[in-house]
Amino acid sequence: MLCCGLAASLLLFTCATAAARGPRYYRFGVLPLQSPTMLAGMFLPLTDALQHALHRPVEFVTAPNFASFMRRVRRHEYDIIYLNPLLYTRAHRWGYHVIVKVAGEPFTGILVVRRGSPIHALVPGRLPAGLRIGFPDPNAYAATIMTRQFMQARGIHVNRDMKVKYFGSQDSALMAVYYGMVDIAGTWPPSLRSMPRNVRHSLRVIAQTPPQPQMPIAVRDSMPAPEVRRIRRLLTHLTATADGREVLHHLGFSRGFVAARNSEYRGVKP
């Protein structure tokens, strides 16, 4: 047992020293849209692929919540980030720039109720009083900000007419509506799709916001241009290979990534 421990320690030691001497780790920060393990399940194949392409280790990390994620972005603790368009506009100010965005599917927010709920459409004045609504995080772009803007535009004053609750992640918000802790949840399509089948089937979408630019992947401005090119190339070519499609399958982005420019996000506003 001790021998095993010793061997493992030595192994770890060599790894650690190799890491210390070898190429620096790239940290891939993912906005905590879902539970960390779920995000890890989605993004680890991608970081693995990046690792191979960059010939350097790439670490997947997330954060306890949006605020701490953004603090770390601001401190440049991440080299590569995946976040929502709104937060990207902030990250851009702090020294990151978009290289690709999720392809295909328009970036929309949705409002979800239980399948048996009496609510079928968002008609102001005809909604029952005292409705409870759940969001992942105040800064969740599609799930919170876009859906709020959408309801605002229809004359529904969320803060006045409903009881608002934040659950930290998309999954939590979805589980909250599933368990009846709230009547409506704001989320976005990929999160709904990633739910277990039975949960997915007992939920119903009552509204969808107009699309916005898709979720971007951005890199540090200080990253060397060849590295940036290599990352972009890898990400935009994932659909071309079986391995790449496998990566995309885990991510749930079946159509892969397309190159994006910062200008596309100029219209994104809170």
Partner 1 sequence: MSAVELRSLPEHVDSARPPKPSLFRTLRFRLMLSVALVHAVLMGTFVWSEVGKQSQAIRADLYSRAHSLITLMAVASTNALLAEDLGSLAEVTQRVKRQPDVMEGAIIDVRGDVLASTDARQVGHRLRLPDAALARQGHGRLRLEEQIRVAGQRVGTVLLEMSTRHLQSELAATRDEGLLFILLALVVGSVAAWVLSLFITRNLHILMEAARRIGSGDLGVRVALPARDEVGLLGGAFNAMAESLQRISAQVQNEHEKRTDAERLACVGELSASIAHEIRNPLSAVINSVKLLDRSNLPAGDRAQAIAILNTESLRLQRILNDFLDFARIRESRLQEGDICGLVEEVAGLIRQHPQAAAVKVEVECDAHHSRARHDPDQLRQVVWNLMLNAIQAIPDRGELRVRVERAAGTVRVSITDNGSGIPDHLLDKIMRPFVTGRKQGTGLGLSIAQRILMQHGTVLSIVSHVNVGTEVSFDLEAT
Site string for partner 1, 49-88 (x = CB under 8 A): --------x-xxxxxx-------x----------------
Based on CB atoms, which residue is closest to partner 1, 35 or 117? 35
Beta-bridged to residue 217, according to DSSP, are: 82, 100
Q: Which stretch binds partner 1 (CB under 8 A): 3-11, 95-103, 128-136, 240-248?
A: 3-11
> Which residue among 36, 95, 189, 252 contacts partner 1 (CB under 8 A)?
36
Residue 37 found at the interface with partner 1 (CB under 8 A): yes
CB of 136 to partner 1, least distance (A): 14
Q: Which stretch binds partner 1 (CB under 8 A): 40-48, 108-116, 119-127, 234-242?
A: 40-48
Which two tokens mark 135?
């969001």
Residue 9 found at the interface with partner 1 (CB under 8 A): yes
Contacts with partner 1 in 229-268 (CB under 8 A)?
250
Sequence-distant (≥ 6) Cβ neighbours of residue 152 within 8 angstroms: 158
CB of 82 to partner 1, least distance (A): 14
Q: Which residues bind partner 1 (CB under 8 A)?
A: 1-2, 5-6, 8-10, 12-13, 15-16, 19-20, 25, 32, 35-37, 39-41, 44-45, 48, 57, 59-64, 72, 250
